[in-house]
Amino acid sequence: MRPAMWVILAAVALAVGGGAAAQSFPSHSVTLTVGFAPGGGTDTAARIIAQKLTDNIGQSVVVENRAGAGGNIAAQHIAMAPPDGYTIHLTSVGPMTVAPHLVKDLAYDPRRDIAPITMGVVFPNVIVVHTGVPAKTLAEFVALARQKPGQLTYASSGVGGAGHLAGELFKERAGIDVLHIPYKGGGPAMTDLLGGRIDMYVGVPSTVAPHVDAGKARALATTGARRTSTMPSVPTVAESGYPGFEATNWYAFVAPGKTPNEILDFWNRELVKALSDPQVKVDLAKHGLDPAPGTREALAQYIERESQTWGKVVREAKITAE
């Protein structure tokens, strides 16, 4: 047989083998990492979606919490994980669009080391206070903060995260001095708010709504352009005297940067399918989370726009890594 024919046959064998491998993927359990502690919004969304993925693909999708540094530790982990499709990640605004402007020697490059799969969910943050704070509206809290400059505290789920950014942007707009206390997730931050160890928390609806409904915390405003269906009686920051204020949160699915396109396409199909499922939509809506599945390309473009937006906020608000 001529050498050229051997080359052709080898190419055909590789193509067939690759197709068979793609068809058998995944052949064992998959890890879905999140960058925050259990009990927060990212963890809640991940567990709802992971269950549907498990049902659909016939393999277990296990949620693994890698909390710390506002989600940057988990982002670094996914950047360095094997690009075989068996580890995917639910990331957020901080690690993907803020950390590059905030952290001097960031151990990963979101553009190079992390591959977009699809947007997951979008939602506003909620500004809440514990019941011992004598403020029933956002205006009253601002007045209180002006009476006690530097004495009140507010929590977020981590430095450079959406809650931190929303809090700093609001401080700048309101002209108040409130001390930021970063946590490793929404769950621990909410625990300290309920215990009266911090005055205010900028958190996600899934974390704060149950405690607000139970009368254990008081919601002052939401940070989106419109009121959230989860807490329709709570006004937006814009409605509360700060027109144009908007700080939307989002969680998106990503993979290691060198993951093959066929595997990224597989996860895009499966995640879009899961996020479009009627019951998943209902379950996410209970926590104030709106599914927003899309293409890999659309997510890449969105991340780039967000990076430009929040990079400007970091510079103008003089936010520094703590």
Nearest CA-CA partner of 178 in 210, 224, 217, 138: 138
Helix pair 162-174, 296-316: axis angle to 10 deg:
40
Calculate Rg over the CA atoms of the chain.
21
If pLDDT is split at 50, 70 and 90, which confidence band does 136 have?
very high
If pLDDT is split at 50, 70 and 90, which confidence band does 248 have?
confident
Tell me the pTM: 0.79
Q: What is the set of domains in the chain, with CATH numbers?
A: 30-122+249-316 (3.40.190.150), 124-222 (3.40.190.10)
pLDDT at position 4 is 46
Average per-residue pLDDT for the chain? 90
Nearest CA-CA partner of 70 in 45, 48, 96: 96
pLDDT at position 22 is 54
pLDDT at position 70 is 84
Residue 109 has pLDDT above 80, yes or no: yes
Nearest CA-CA partner of 185 in 52, 312, 46, 313: 46
Question: Cα–Cα distances in Å, from 136 out to 51, 130, 140, 170, 219?
Answer: 39, 10, 6, 17, 8
Report how far residue 107's alpha carbon sits from residue 282's, in angstroms, rounded to the nearest whole number.
37
- pLDDT tens-digit profile of 162-179? 898 899 889 999 999 999
pLDDT at position 23 is 66
- Mean pLDDT to the nearest integer, 178-194: 93
- pLDDT tens-digit profile of 264-314? 999 999 999 999 999 999 999 988 889 999 999 999 999 999 999 889 888
Residue 26 structure tokens: 């995944």
Residue 16 has pLDDT above 50, yes or no: no
Report how far residue 183's alpha carbon sits from residue 156's, in angstroms, rounded to the nearest whole number.
6
pLDDT at position 115 is 98
Lowest mean pLDDT among 70-74, 225-229, 292-296: 225-229
